[in-house]
Amino acid sequence: MKIPTTLKHKPVIVSDNYENIDGRYAYNSDAKGLSLGLAQWNDRGKVDISAKVWRYTGEKWSRQSEELPLHRVLDLAILVCRTKLHFREAYRYEKLYNTENPVIDRVGLQGDAMTVAICTDNEKINEDIKLFSQALSADDELIGERLRTLSRILKEMGY
């Protein structure tokens, strides 16, 4: 499905027909496309690039379509990677994390650091972390394929 070009987000690079490869939702997804383009929040004289997931309800483009600045997309990728790395060794902990120190990592960015930690404020963390771990494991092939592709492209770019 072609994504619209007449809305506030102005697509420049697109991936149409995303619903065909949307992980376990493939061929049954409301996410119809991805785009990189000019952000909808741009003001005169200020231009930001954003990434957008375009969702379609079957009748109209959904207000639940998400638009993120590129640095946040990459921050989410960092969070996913650090999470995957944690869960490789999480079996060593009785509750799948160090209850004495729930901080997994501090990733240096922009002169500060992004804290990656287990959400101990979640009242059901002990149940939820098990479910999370199972779901992460179940999606390992899907996520792994994308991480290998990302790794290859980053190497091609010199990173």
- If pLDDT is split at 50, 70 and 90, which confidence band does 45 have? confident
Reduced to 3 states (helix: H, G, I; strand: E, B; else coil), residue 9 is coil
The four Cα atoms 15, 21, 27, 28 give a dihedral, to 10 degrees, of -90
Q: C-alpha distances in angstroms, 41 versus 8, 33, 61?
A: 8, 20, 18
Give ∠ CA 28-32-35 in degrees, rounded to 5.
150
Give SS3 for 59.
coil
Quick one: pLDDT band at residue 12, thresholds 50, 70, 90?
A: confident
Per-residue pLDDT reduced to its tens digit, 71-86: 999 999 999 999 999 9
Tell me whether residue 146 is exposed, middle or buried, using C-beta atoms within 10 angstroms of its C-beta: 0 to 12, 13 to 18, 19 or more.
middle
- Name the burial class of residue 50, with classes exposed (0-12), middle (13-18) and buried (19+) by CB atoms within 10 angstroms of its CB: buried
At 129-150, the pLDDT tens digits run 999 999 999 999 999 999 999 9
Rg, the chain, Cα only: 18
pLDDT at 9: 84
Q: What is the pLDDT of residues 87-124, one digit of tens each?
A: 999 999 999 999 999 999 999 999 999 999 999 999 99
Residue 67: count of CB within 10 angstroms of its CB:
17
Tokens of 123: 């009242």
Instruction: Give the type of residue at 48.
Output: D
Report in angstroms the alpha-carbon separations of 151 from 8, 156, 157. Answer: 32, 9, 10
